[in-house]
Structure 1
Amino acid sequence: MSLSAHEVEKLAAGAHENSFGVLGMHADDRGRLWVRSLVPGAAEVSVCDAGSGADLVGMEIRDPRGVFEALIPRRRRAFDYRLRVRWAASGIETLVADPYSFGSLISADDLHYLGEGSHLRPYTVLGAHPVRVGHVDGVRFAVWAPNARTVAVVGDFNGWNPMAHPMRLHFGIGVWEIFIPEVPLGAAYKFELRSQDGARLPQKADPYALRTEMRPATASRVAHLPTPRSLGASRRKANQRSAPISIYEVHLQSWRRPGVGTFSDWDTLAEQLPDYVSKLGFTHIEVLPISEHPFDGSWGYQTFSQFAPSARFGDPDGLRRFVLACHDAGLGVIIDWVPAHFPMDAHGLTQFDGTALYEYADPREGFHRDWSTAIYNFGRTEVRNLLAGSALFWLERYGVDGLRVDAVASMLYRDYSRPDGEWIPNVHGGRENLEAISLLRSVNSIIGEHAPGAVTIAEESTAFPGVSRPVYDGGLGFHYKWNMGWMHDSLAYMREDPVHRRWHHDKMTFGLVYAFSENFVLPLSHDEVVHGKGSLLNKMPGDRWQKFANLRAYYAFMWAHPGKKLLFMGGEFAQECEWNHDGQLDWHLLDQAEHRGVQTLIRDLNGAYRKHAALHMHDCEAQGFEWLVANDAEQSVFAFMRKSGNEQVIVVCNFTPVPRHDYRVGVPFNGAGAWREILNTDSQVYGGSEVGNLGAAKPVQAIEANGRSHSIALTLPPLATLYLVAA
Structure 2
Amino acid sequence: MTDTTTTTWPAHAPHPNDAEAISRGMHGDPFRILGMHQETGGPVTVCVFSPDAAEVTVLDHKGKEVGPLEPLRNDGLFFGEMPKKRRPFDYRLKFRNAQGHEWELLDPYGFEPILGEMDEYLLGEGRHEELYRRLGAHPTTHGGVEGTAFAVWAPNARRVSVVGHFNAWDGRRHPMRRRGATGVWEIFIPGLGMGEIYKYEIVGAYGHTLPLKADPVGFFAQNPPETASVVHGMPRHEWTDSGWMQARPADQRSEPVSIYEVHLGSWRRTLENEVLDYAALADELIAYVGEMGFTHVEFLPVSEHPYSPSWGYQPVGMFAPTSRFGDPEGFAKMVDKLHGAGVGVIVDWVPAHFPTDAHGLGNFDGTALYEHADPRQGFHQDWNTLIYNFGRQEVANFLRASATFWLKELHVDALRVDAVASMLYLDYSRKDGEWIPNRYGGRENLDAIDFLKGVNRVVRDYAPGSLTIAEESTAWPGVSRPVSEDGLGFDFKWNMGWMHDTLEYMQQDPIHRKYHHHKMTFGLVYAFSENFVLPLSHDEVVHGKGSMLGKMPGDRWQKFANLRAYYGFMWGHPGKKLLFMGGEFGQEREWNHDQSLDWHLLEDPHHDGVRQFVRDLNHLYRSEPAMHQRDCSPEGFRWIEGGDSENNVFSFIRYGEEGTKPVVVVCNMAPVVREGYRIGMPQSGNWAERLNSDAATYGGSGAGNGAGVRAVEEELHGLPASAAVTLPPLGTIFLTPE
1:40/1:67 contact within 8 Å kept? yes
Counterpart in 2 of 1:551? 563
1:366 positional shift: 0.2
2:179 aligned residue (170, 191, 196) = 170
- How far apart are the structure 1 equivalents of 2:304 and 2:226? 12
Residue 98 (structure 2) pairs with residue 79 (structure 1): no
Compute the displacement of 1:186 (Å).
1.1
The aligned residue for residue 606 of structure 1 is 618
1:254 equivalent in structure 2: 266
Aligned partner letter, 1:516: F
SS in structure 2 at match of 1:386: helix
Q: How does 1:97-136 map to 2 (within 5 A)?
A: 97-136=106-145
Q: Secondary structure, in 3 states, of the residue corresponding to 1:306? A: strand
State whether structure 2 residue 665 is matched by structure 1 residue 651.
yes
Mapping of residues 565-576 of structure 1, within 5 Å: 565-576=577-588
Counterpart mapping for 1:672-691 below 5 A: 672-691=684-703
* Residues 452-501 of structure 1: per-residue CA shift (max 9 Å, x gap): 10000000000000000000011000000000000000000000000000
Which residue of 1 is the match for residue 6 of structure 2? Answer: none
Aligned length: 722
Cα distance in structure 1, aligned partners of 2:582 and 2:247: 26
1:410 alignment partner, SS class:
helix
State the Cα distance separating 1:62 from its structure 2 match.
2.6
1:43: how far off?
Answer: 2.8
Check whether the contact 1:266–1:319 (CA below 8 A) recurs between aligned residues.
yes
Computed over aligned residues only, the root mean square deviation of the Cα atoms, in angstroms, reads: 1.4
Partner residue in 2 for 1:149:
158
SS at 2:568 equivalent: helix
1:575-605, CA deviations, whole angstroms, 9 ceiling, x for partnerless residues? 0000001111001101111001011001100
The equivalences for 1:26-37 within 5 A come to 26-28=37-39, 30-37=41-48
Within the candidate set 373, 384, 388, 1:361 is matched to: 373
Kept in 2, the 8 Å contact 1:239–1:454? The answer is no
Following superposition, the deviation at residue 30 of structure 1 comes to 4.2
Deviation for aligned residue 1:239: 6.9
1:505 Cα deviation after fit = 0.5
Aligned-partner Cα distance in 2 for 1:262–1:87: 46
2:403 aligned residue: 391
The equivalent residue for 1:53 is 63
The structural deviation recorded for 1:42 is: 2.0
| 1:83 counterpart letter in structure 2 | L
The aligned counterpart of 2:653 is 641
SS for the counterpart of 2:304 is coil
Partner of 1:564: 576
- Correspondence 1:661 to 2:678: no
Question: Post-superposition shift, 1:299?
Answer: 0.3
Could you tell me which residue of structure 1 aligns to residue 489 of structure 2?
A: 477
Contact persistence 1:457–1:478 (CA under 8 A): yes
Q: Distance in 2 between matches of 1:513 and 1:136?
A: 65
* Kept after mapping to 1: 8 A contact 2:244/2:340: no
Distance 1:170 1:657 in 2: 72
Q: After the TM superposition, which residues 275-286 of structure 1 pair with which residues of structure 2 at under 5 Å, given as runs?
A: 275-286=287-298
How far apart, in 2, do the equivalents of 1:400 and 1:152 lie?
A: 33
Change (3 A) 1:134 1:193: same
* Counterpart residue type for residue 697 of structure 1: G
Equivalent pair of 2:197/2:230 in contact (CA under 8 Å): yes
Report what 2:76 is aligned to: 66
SS at match of 2:160: strand
Give the equivalent residue in structure 2 for 1:10.
Answer: 21
- Cross-structure match for 1:497: 509
Structure 1: 5+ residue runs without aligned partners?
none
Q: Which runs of 5+ in 2 are unaligned?
A: 1-11
Letter in 2 for 1:499: I
Structure-2 change in CA distance of 1:235 and 1:589 (3 Å): farther
Aligned-pair CA distance for 1:613: 0.3
Task: Tell me if 1:381 matches 2:390.
Answer: no
Structure 1 residue 306 corresponds to structure 2 residue 284: no
* Alignment-derived partner of residue 520 in structure 1: 532
* 8 Å contact from structure 1 (residues 289, 335) kept in 2: yes
Mapped to 2, the partners of 1:267 and 1:598 lie a distance apart of 28
Residue from 703, 725, 731 that aligns with 1:714: 725
Kindly provide the CA deviation profile for residues 49-105 of structure 1, in whole angstroms up to 9, marking residues without a partner as x. Answer: 11x21001111123444221111122121111111122456x442321100011211
Per the alignment, residue 518 of structure 2 pairs with: 506
**Cα distance in structure 2, aligned partners of 1:706 and 1:536:** 34
Deviation by residue 1:532-580 (Cα, 9 ceiling, x = unmatched): 0000001000000000000000001101100000000000110000000
8 Å Cα contact 2:55/2:97 also seen in 1: yes
Paired residue for 2:628?
616
Does the 8 Å CA contact 1:235/1:332 hold for their aligned counterparts?
no
Helix, strand or coil for the counterpart of 2:642? strand
Q: Which residue of 2 aligns with 1:245?
A: 257
Letter in 1 for 2:135: L
Query: Partner of 1:194 in structure 2?
Result: 203
**Structure 2: how far apart are the matches of 1:419 and 1:259?**
48
Q: Distance in 2 between matches of 1:639 and 1:147?
A: 63
Residues 41, 65 of structure 1: 8 Å contact kept:
no
Identity across matched positions, percent: 57
Question: Which of 633-642 and 217-226 deviates more?
Answer: 217-226
Instruction: Give, in whole Å, the separation in 2 of the partners of 1:42 and 1:527.
Output: 58
Which among 319, 331, 336 is matched to residue 319 of structure 1? 331
Deviation readout 1:17-59 (Å, 9 max, x if unpaired): 2111111111245411110012232232100111x21001111
Amino acid at match of 2:645: A
- In 1, distance between residues paired with 2:479 and 2:646? 36
Aligned-partner Cα distance in 2 for 1:234–1:110: 30
Q: State whether structure 2 residue 464 is matched by structure 1 residue 452.
A: yes
Are 2:104 and 1:95 equivalent residues in the alignment? yes
Letter paired with 2:192 = V
What letter corresponds to residue 631 of structure 1 in structure 2? G
Return the letter of the residue paired with 2:18.
E
Q: Aligned partners of 1:373, 1:357: CA distance in 2, in Å?
A: 15
Give 1:539's aligned residue. 551
Q: For the residues of structure 2 that align with 1:163 and 1:724, how far apart are their CA atoms?
A: 75
- Match of 2:533, SS? strand
Task: Determine the C-alpha separation between the residues in 2 that align with 1:503 and 1:7.
Answer: 81
Q: Would the aligned equivalents of 1:469 and 1:476 in 2 still touch at CA under 8 Å?
A: yes
Greater mean deviation of Cα atoms: 575-584 or 269-278: 269-278
Q: 1:597 aligns to what?
A: 609
Report the 3-state secondary structure (helix = DSSP H, G, I; strand = E; otherwise coil) of the residue aligned with 2:21: helix
8 Å Cα contact 2:49-2:78 kept in structure 1: yes
The 2-side partners of 1:657 and 1:446 are apart by 51
Deviates more, 1:33-42 or 1:172-181: 33-42
User: 1:699 matched to which residue of 2?
Assistant: 710
Instruction: Give the TM-score, by structure 2 length.
Output: 0.96
8 A contact 1:227–1:397 mirrored in 2: no
Q: Distance in 2 between matches of 1:173 and 1:156?
A: 29
Q: Deviations over 1:266-320 (max 9, x none)?
A: 1111121122111100000000000000101100000111001111011111001
User: How much does 1:705 deviate?
Assistant: 3.4
